[in-house]
Structure 1
Amino acid sequence: MVIAAPSQIEYRRDLQELQWIREHPWNFLEKYVWTEDQVESKEEPIKRFPCGDDYAYLKYLTDAWVEETILLVPKSRRMVITWWATAVHLWATMYFKSRQTFFVSIKEELSDDLVDKAFFIHSHIPDDKPLLKPKCKKTYCKLQFPGIRSIIYGVPQGSDQLRQRTSSFIFADEMAFWEKGRDTYVASIPTIEGGGKFLGVSSAYPGFFKKLVFDELLTG
């Protein structure tokens, strides 16, 4: 009889967990995602991603993101939507090969803030889970996973940034406040038609995003 060494047992267990994590992003969010509240929680700003009954809408949104090619999410400030969107795109990028994901915001520095959020989530995965925490390299507006040739870019609004590279996923944050919302969305169409995903989230504000949400582009 051959008895597996503890390291072999741990590796197999971690491999099984990785396969489970890859099955659905909610598995990752529920177990390994931490967030940072820089506004209200001064004593303990680092918190587990909220998965309780009060946040059931996040599971609904995760299922919708998996199923839909285009998902538009109006939000309020305390809904944790930006952290949620960052986490699902991190999952889609670091656990699958050759993914190019774009975090788009009104300004480049705000796009880098989104990339920083992804790096924060990655850094809080336990170090003793190397299969679940692939090596990465963070630079300004980039989070690279060299071992699987996947990358997250942070770019500002506008069509040129998205036309320069092929993208797998696009996350557009606070899209209602962009001057170039329409141009950015039009530049995203090749990604959508090629099988990629577009997620737009924003606080309420009149304009292109509102028309997109309520399917008013042809009437308004």
Structure 2
Amino acid sequence: MWFHVSLAVFCLTLSVQADLNRRYQGTKLRVEIDQWTADCDGAGTDSDVTLNVGFIGTDNKLVYSVRTKSQKGKAADRFEQKTVHGWSFNVPQKQAVQIEQDCVTYSKGDQEAYEDCFHPNLIYYEMYSWWNNWGHGWKPSLTDVTLFAIATNGDIYEHDTVFNLEGACEYDWVDGEGDSYFCRDTRPGLRMMADRGNGLKKGDWFDCDKEKRKLVKHKSVNDEKL
């Protein structure tokens, strides 16, 4: 009995994969980030910032996440008021392979869902502070995340997501010594502090607005070499 059930599941998985154009299979993944800090009094921070980018499905559960390199807040005033700081991160190939497989599983054979899975729709900040880091709170204003998928044949696919945070200075502050997150599909209502994060395990649930969720198709940038 167990053998027959396992065989049926295996055959179903093969059927789902066969229906997909798995253009991202074997690709190298690179994340590029431009982070703006708001033009508000006290918006800047010296806290260290580690940005994770991820994708949550239509059930608001985490499909995958990528933890980029930690950025020292005190270095070159990276996160001070009315500044922009950019950095990039090459995803380890073993993780890139797993992300593609996770997107195959999530898509259930739907090509648009598979494509959309490579457009990050979640940003998750890990903030590190210390005892004499006064005023460590931070107000980001916009985060531009681009995920590049570089295929073995040289094709490059660009997946850009802009997270526009609340512009008014009273809202969307990040705790300078904890975890916080924002969604591409923001839930209704204003809040003074960003939603607090409790980790990034696959399958974790996030409070994002799924009523306005739209699938985002890929854009090819084959003329650009990274």
Superposition TM-score tier, normalisation by shorter sequence: under 0.3
Alignment TM-score, normalising by the size of structure 2: 0.27
Query: Which structure has greater strand proportion?
Result: 2
Alignment TM-score, normalising by the size of structure 1: 0.27
Query: Which structure has greater helix proportion?
Result: 1
